[in-house]
Structure 1
Amino acid sequence: MIKNYLKVALRKLWRHKAFSFINIIGLAVGMTACFLIYLYVGFELSYDAFNTKADRIYRVVADLKTPTETVHPSGPAWAVAPNAKDEFPEIEEFVRTTGTSILVRKGDVKFQEQNAMWADSALFKVFDFKLIKGDPRTALKEQLSIVLSKTAAKKYFANTDPIGQTVLVTGDAFPAKVTGVMKDIPENSQIKADVILSMSTLTQKFNSSLDSQWTNYGASAYLLLKPSADAERLEKKFPAFLEKRNGTEMKKIQMFPTLKLEALKDVYLRSTHGDNKTGNIVNVYIFSIVAVFIMLIACINFINLTTARSAERAKEVGIRKVVGAAKTQLSGQFIGESIMLCLIAFVITVLLSAILLPSFNTLAGKTISTGVFARPLLILGLFLAAIGIGLLAGIYPALVLSSFKPVVVLKGRFATGNKGIALRKGLVIAQFTISIVLIISTIVVYNQMTYMRNQELGFNKERMLIIDTNGDPNKKAFQQSIASLPNVVSTATSSSVPGGGNPGAYSEVENVRGELQIANLDLYFVDFDYINQFKIKMVAGRAFSREFGTDTTQAMVLNEAAVKMFGYSSPEAAVGKRFKQWGREGKIIGVMKDFHFKGLQQPIKPLSMRIEPDNSGLVSVNLSSANLPSTIAAIESKWKTFIPNRPFSYYFLDEFFDKQYRTEERFGKLFLNFAILAIIISCLGLLGLASYSTMQRTKEIGIRKVLGASVSGIVNLLSKEFLTLVIISFVIAAPIAWYFMYKWLQDFAYHTSISVWVFGLAGLSALAIALLTVSFQAIKAAVMNPVKSLRTE
């Protein structure tokens, strides 16, 4: 019996090859998209979950309130973690980490390691970063201890054992002893480094007062709580702890931190502290919904086409019932055939996923999976989903067709009825509603990405070459040597450039009431040429000038946002006012027009600039467009002359600044690709239904042509029904898409608006896509010889 059912199913597949192809491929493509999206979503949600003690690890963050504002650094003051460990028995261990860029040399091998960090000795006790060689308890205990990743160890030591050997670190060439080699840190860790140096080197050798500093917010801090500890109760004890340890200084400087604990697993996706947020839980939710939508579209297609074609088998059912087939046997046959189609689609899904996964990893910007079977539970879920879809698609014909009386069916009186037609129309509306929501969303995402790339930033970033000297003593000589090179328009030095990090500085500035108001101002150290080179406009006062000797010690420039923060109604009113900042006192000499020194995701913050040559390690080179390769080669030659001990590296400011939008751009690309897939799947379903509808009306078309109907009239007749469904879908989809995309845009401080033309374009696109899809079958039927049409039965 089963063998006979299998033969019948295979014959049906082969006899209706086009229908079978559309049905299976549509479902397979939908399942593939859904599988890849959930690989991505699962990877994003898995950050830091590899740590066995993750449920007990918390990051300490601070809300730092000043009389002016509240800032949200990514960590507490340096002194908090070690003092909290002494104060609270609930804390088992603490670890502070801070990223750094450090020069590492071994013989002739030298690299400016950008992916390096300082870490306390308990790092390997708190986190599951596995050491291949070395003792995790002592690897970072002593000063000038260094742990290398497996990749970094091979870079410096090839195939020799690095344990106990030394490398030279920093420009001063301190000898650091290699005390450990660790496995490369997993991709799904928000703490990443290839080179880890002992924190005791920083807190005891380079800056012996760090452990007692309560106003310096330079490191992230993690606490490992004891198994019985309650994080919420511990958090409530922090205000009294701060008052006890630092209450007098807090009142004196008017900076009041509130300490909070963030669960380790929430840091990557949910934290609102720090400027370098890399994950976005909203995007994860959006992709999860898109995956459900795509799967729903694919299921609707499959069920729609399966139920539509089932009516053709009415006579087959009648004959089977006449010769004794039971209702349960017929139901089993229909359900079995439907499940078989879904299992074929499942196999194709696995193959497609394996082929597309490398490209998908590239599109996502990270290795989200090494293979389709890396997460077997997801494959099992997909397999069960295929069976479930097969059951859903098979139940309708199984119950409806198997219940009809064979006499009625064999007399040709069987009809699918209005309920079946209404069901299919409803499913088409649902399908195109989802597709139009995705079309509108894709246009909005694209518009926002274009808006951010083309927005006037308020400074010049074109052909600006940035070279980090890392404070080398010969940086000034190097700068002067390249200034006279052909095609070098100008040079400047600074501590930061737009898009880069910059410290918040404890500042006191005279406000509109004549009082010294405390604030945490972002700070750039610059030279005399920086403002002019970057074409930053001055709206009041003047920029720094060599003509005024006091500019190097007693002058500050603010931006408009800072001026507003101190209560001034106009930039001119702030010029000449007093300031105190990091040991310097003087007057404000000018006000800059606000410029976007951070990405458009954030509002423009108050910014200050001061002349400080010793702390300006970045050399900015404004180049002409002529012969860039030879100019860069000439700059490198000068570098090797003046700074031979450091590797030469550079970047262009426009590319560097745009990296801030990398997460949004990847989101946009992924969204676009999956939206296109959803539309293609919808079109496949529409094509199948149009084909079936046209076939059902073959005789009607023939009669109409005999009676004089034109080709255009018949095409219009066959297309009108489907286009009406698309219009209904648009009416439903437009407000839904507007609501969700409006919410998404609120994550950006500067964003585009959702214009009416977006909906018009999406609606016309959906109509055009539907018309092209349906017209293919409609025209084919309309031009058919009516004689052949009337002989179809």
Structure 2
Amino acid sequence: MIRNHLKIAWRSLLADRKFSLINIVGLAIGLSISLLLFLFVIHERSFNQMYANKDHIYRMLLHTQGDHGEEIWCNAPAALAPALSQDIPGITSSVRMLKHDFGDRAFVNVNLNNKQLIEPLLYWCDDTFFTIFDSEFIQGEPQKALTRPNTVVLTETTARRYFGDRDPMGQMITVDYNIELEVTGIIKDLPDNSTIDANVIASFKTLNYYRNPSWGNASFETYCLVSDTFIPETAEKEIQQMLDRYVKKEEQWYHFSLQPLEKVHLYSVGYTNLYSSRKGSIREVRIFSFLALLILLIACINYMNLATARSQKRIKDVGISKTLGASTRSLISRFYTETALITGIAIILGVLLAFAAVPLFNSITEKQLDINLVFSLKFITAILVVWILTSFIAGSYPALYLSRVSPKEVMSTSARQGNMAGMVRKGLVVLQFSASVVLIIGVTVIYQQIQFILQKDLGYDPENVVAISAAVAVKNNSTEALLDEFRKAPSVLQVSMVQGFPGMEVSSRSLYVSENDPHGISLQSNRADHTVTEVLGLRLLAGRPLPRFKQERDTTVDVILNKKAVDYLGYTPEEAIGKRVHAGLGNNSYIRGVVNDFNFSSLHSPIGAYSFHNGSMEPKRRLLVRFNSDNLPATLRDFETRFKKIVPDSAFDYTFLDKNTEQLYAAEKRTARVGLVFSVLAIFVACLGLFGLAAFTAEQRNKEIGIRKVLGASVFRITRLLSKDFLKLVCLALIIAFPLAYWLMDKWLREFAYRIEISWVTFLITGISALLIALITISFQSVKAAMLNPVKTLKAE
């Protein structure tokens, strides 16, 4: 029976080539888009699944009170990990991970060949790292690789980059020109879907933090391995009791919670102090899943539209089949077989399109999706599920409605007119264009919000400012020489040595009104010199910049606060000058100046408290250079020459402040790009269905058009007659889509502290665009039908 159904389905496809082609192409495009988006979702949900202990690994999260409620940090104090292993039942092992210099790049010198490199992914880890995160060792032993100080494990690609074809085992590398490390292991490159993104894993025992662990400095990502009987809720209570034993209540500015490894990648949005460069978002996964299903639905609607339009041709066929004894069940099977054949062909074409489009999709999403995922069991299963669902949804009307038509109804007027089919068809057109309009408005609002962010006055000027890593100059005591050399450059307007810059993590402290203040707010503190306000273009509201010179024995710490911090202290900018600062900057720290508020982090969050100071607690490892030049490549070459003149043994590593600011919104930009490309394709698929439907309608009304032309109707009037019914449906779709799109995008915008207001102009332009697209699509067939010779259309009568 199935074989017979397949023959009938194939003959039906060949008999109606135009509509079959529209069906297959529309489904193929929709399916290929959906498959690509599902591929992205599968990749994001596959993070950290490669580790054997994945179900028994937890990350420690630190909770503290910030300016606008609770903040969650991904880092913890250095003393936490050893205490967990020792004091908490069920925790069998723990590991601390510190990204080099608190997230900064490392300068690596390969002793063998004197090769100088910049390493962005160097981590200092406990020797328990490979116990918790099992990795495939090519050389060395996982149990011994990091047990000694001054040892290091390299990934396979990194070892090749450092040593070429030479055997790296036992060789020495020097980090930041003063820490020598022996290579004791080579591992396979960590997969792209691992949160751990290290190229170099060095022994934590090398650092002073290992010998003197503190409960104060929370800069260490901490993971723990637990037993089968471990209960997270019970453990969190035991951890708090442990904290009470080690830290006085008045000094506990935080508490801890446990995060399962499976949630680390997708459920860490909004958390601070993340080290991994691979950051996902469950919201983005849900948006892309919704987009995939929406586009798949639009493609299915195309098929259903054309199937219902063709129902008048098929209804007599059904009646004859039933008269000859065909059962309802047999007809249902026949229609589903036909749908399955069409969707099967579309699936094959869609998979080929998806396979070919993976590199382009990678460039749009800035991900590295593996093409081999197309052949994975999950993806093949997803294809089969999509095929079954598409066949069921797209074939539901012809299978369930037409198969129940009785032979008596075949000759009735209502059956021939297809009232039920017409109603379904209209409903599907409305649904299809409603979905398309929601997509267009959504992408437009996302794009407007991103443009608003990028063009918003941040309170400082990041344009034409470059941050150059000067860690080696600090170690060589040559920072003054470096500053003097850059001041001589003709394009340089001003220079400054700083700990960090806006958009970069600096030191987190707490600011208190007084010593008795039980609350306090979070304060970002940045050690800098006297020119920092000028280089960053900050507006001084009161007081003076930091002093140019400071005596060696001078214990006074000069502080510049932003207005947010001064407001918390209860002063006006003028009143704040000379007041003492209670923020862990020393007993002799005083306010020297107040600057206007500026956005030093993402616009997702309101402006917090910020300070610049000239204390000696942290090193100034960045050289900020404000320049004015029309020839950027030549300027950078000049900067590198001057830098190498003072620090010849250091690599020239730089970052533009405006580019760094843009990176804060990488996820939103990616969503906008993907949404834009796939929304355009979704509109194309919707128009493809509308085109087919208009063609079929014109074909059905050929004789009516012929009679009207004989009676004197013009091409314009006939085109208007054929188009107006479709345009009414598009207008109805707009009425449904507008409030739904507003609700969805208003909900999305609430995640930003600074946001646009959704303008009625967006809806007006979208509505006009949708109507024009629909009109152009319909008019092509309408004009073609209106220009037919009436003799040809009426000769059969």
Shorter-chain-normalised TM-score: which range?
Answer: over 0.9
Q: Which of 493, 498, 508 is matched with 1:489 structurally?
A: 493
- Map of 1:677 onto structure 2: 681
SS at match of 1:259: strand
Question: Structure 1 residue 116 and structure 2 residue 122: aligned?
Answer: yes
- Unpaired runs of 5+ in structure 1? none
Of 312-321 and 214-223, more deviation after overlay is shown by 312-321
Tell me, yes or no, if the aligned pair for 1:60 and 1:260 is still in contact at 8 Å: yes
**Cα distance in structure 2, aligned partners of 1:32 and 1:334:** 24
- Map of 1:274 onto structure 2: 272
- Map of 2:613 onto structure 1: 610
Tell me, yes or no, if the aligned pair for 2:311 and 2:421 is still in contact at 8 Å: no
**Cα distance in structure 2, aligned partners of 1:99 and 1:758:** 44
- Map of 1:162 onto structure 2: 168
- Map of 2:782 onto structure 1: 778
Of 90-99 and 71-80, more deviation after overlay is shown by 71-80
Change in Cα spacing, 1:625 to 1:770, as seen in structure 2 (3 Å) is same
Name the Cα RMSD after superposition: 2.7
Give the deviation of 1:8 after TM superposition: 4.8
Question: Structure 1 residue 76 and structure 2 residue 76: aligned?
Answer: yes
Which string of whole-angstrom CA distances, capped at 9 and with x for unpartnered residues, describes residues 275-331 of structure 1?
549322112111111111111111111122123213223454556667776666555
Alignment of 1:548-587 (within 5 A): 553-568=556-571, 570-580=572-582, 581-583=584-586, 585-587=588-590
Aligned partner letter, 2:645: T
**Cα distance in structure 2, aligned partners of 1:755 and 1:67:** 31
Alignment of 1:452-531 (within 5 A): 452-470=453-471, 471-473=474-476, 474-508=478-512, 510=514, 518-531=520-533
**Cα distance in structure 2, aligned partners of 1:391 and 1:68:** 50
- Map of 2:545 onto structure 1: 543
Which string of whole-angstrom CA distances, capped at 9 and with x for unpartnered residues, describes residues 354-407 of structure 1?
100111122221212333534233223323432443345445435555555668
**Cα distance in structure 2, aligned partners of 1:556 and 1:516:** 22
**Cα distance in structure 1, aligned partners of 2:223 and 2:75:** 9
Give the deviation of 1:450 after TM superposition: 0.7
**Cα distance in structure 1, aligned partners of 2:726 and 2:393:** 24
Question: Structure 1 residue 284 and structure 2 residue 285: aligned?
Answer: yes
**Cα distance in structure 2, aligned partners of 1:330 and 1:67:** 67
**Cα distance in structure 1, aligned partners of 2:235 and 2:6:** 66
Which string of whole-angstrom CA distances, capped at 9 and with x for unpartnered residues, describes residues 447-491 of structure 1?
111111111111121121221012342232122112102222221
Change in Cα spacing, 1:695 to 1:590, as seen in structure 2 (3 Å) is same
Tell me, yes or no, if the aligned pair for 2:137 and 2:185 is still in contact at 8 Å: yes
Change in Cα spacing, 1:330 to 1:69, as seen in structure 2 (3 Å) is closer
- Map of 2:705 onto structure 1: 701
Tell me, yes or no, if the aligned pair for 2:464 and 2:656 is still in contact at 8 Å: yes
TM-score w.r.t. length of structure 2: 0.92
Give the deviation of 1:12 after TM superposition: 3.6
Change in Cα spacing, 1:261 to 1:317, as seen in structure 2 (3 Å) is closer
Alignment of 1:49-448 (within 5 A): 49-65=49-65, 70-100=70-100, 101-106=105-110, 107-172=113-178, 174-203=179-208, 208-209=211-212, 211=213, 213-247=214-248, 250-251=249-250, 253=251, 255-271=252-268, 272-276=270-274, 278-317=279-318, 330-394=331-395, 396-398=397-399, 400-401=401-402, 415-448=416-449
Which string of whole-angstrom CA distances, capped at 9 and with x for unpartnered residues, describes residues 585-628 of structure 1?
13211111011111212221100111258721111122222333
Tell me, yes or no, if the aligned pair for 2:169 and 2:184 is still in contact at 8 Å: yes
Which string of whole-angstrom CA distances, capped at 9 and with x for unpartnered residues, describes residues 194-235 of structure 1?
01111111136xx732x1x11111111111111111111010
Aligned partner letter, 1:595: F
Question: Structure 1 residue 766 and structure 2 residue 784: aligned?
Answer: no
Change in Cα spacing, 1:478 to 1:313, as seen in structure 2 (3 Å) is same
Give the deviation of 1:516 after TM superposition: 10
Of 217-226 and 307-316, more deviation after overlay is shown by 307-316
Tell me, yes or no, if the aligned pair for 2:507 and 2:525 is still in contact at 8 Å: yes
Tell me, yes or no, if the aligned pair for 1:522 and 1:606 is still in contact at 8 Å: yes
SS at match of 2:776: helix
- Map of 1:742 onto structure 2: 746
Change in Cα spacing, 1:376 to 1:646, as seen in structure 2 (3 Å) is same
Of 58-67 and 782-791, more deviation after overlay is shown by 58-67
**Cα distance in structure 2, aligned partners of 1:388 and 1:566:** 61
Tell me, yes or no, if the aligned pair for 1:115 and 1:194 is still in contact at 8 Å: yes
**Cα distance in structure 2, aligned partners of 1:508 and 1:130:** 49
Change in Cα spacing, 1:494 to 1:612, as seen in structure 2 (3 Å) is farther
Change in Cα spacing, 1:347 to 1:579, as seen in structure 2 (3 Å) is same
Change in Cα spacing, 1:454 to 1:90, as seen in structure 2 (3 Å) is same
Tell me, yes or no, if the aligned pair for 2:205 and 2:211 is still in contact at 8 Å: no
Tell me, yes or no, if the aligned pair for 2:495 and 2:535 is still in contact at 8 Å: yes
Give the deviation of 1:143 after TM superposition: 0.5
Change in Cα spacing, 1:478 to 1:786, as seen in structure 2 (3 Å) is same
**Cα distance in structure 1, aligned partners of 2:389 and 2:611:** 62
- Unpaired runs of 5+ in structure 2? none
**Cα distance in structure 1, aligned partners of 2:153 and 2:694:** 65
Give the deviation of 1:70 after TM superposition: 4.7
**Cα distance in structure 1, aligned partners of 2:612 and 2:412:** 91
Change in Cα spacing, 1:321 to 1:102, as seen in structure 2 (3 Å) is closer
Aligned partner letter, 2:543: G
SS at match of 1:491: strand
Tell me, yes or no, if the aligned pair for 1:469 and 1:618 is still in contact at 8 Å: yes
SS at match of 2:374: coil
Tell me, yes or no, if the aligned pair for 1:552 and 1:611 is still in contact at 8 Å: no
- Map of 2:595 onto structure 1: 592
- Map of 1:757 onto structure 2: 761
Give the deviation of 1:129 after TM superposition: 2.7
Change in Cα spacing, 1:639 to 1:792, as seen in structure 2 (3 Å) is farther
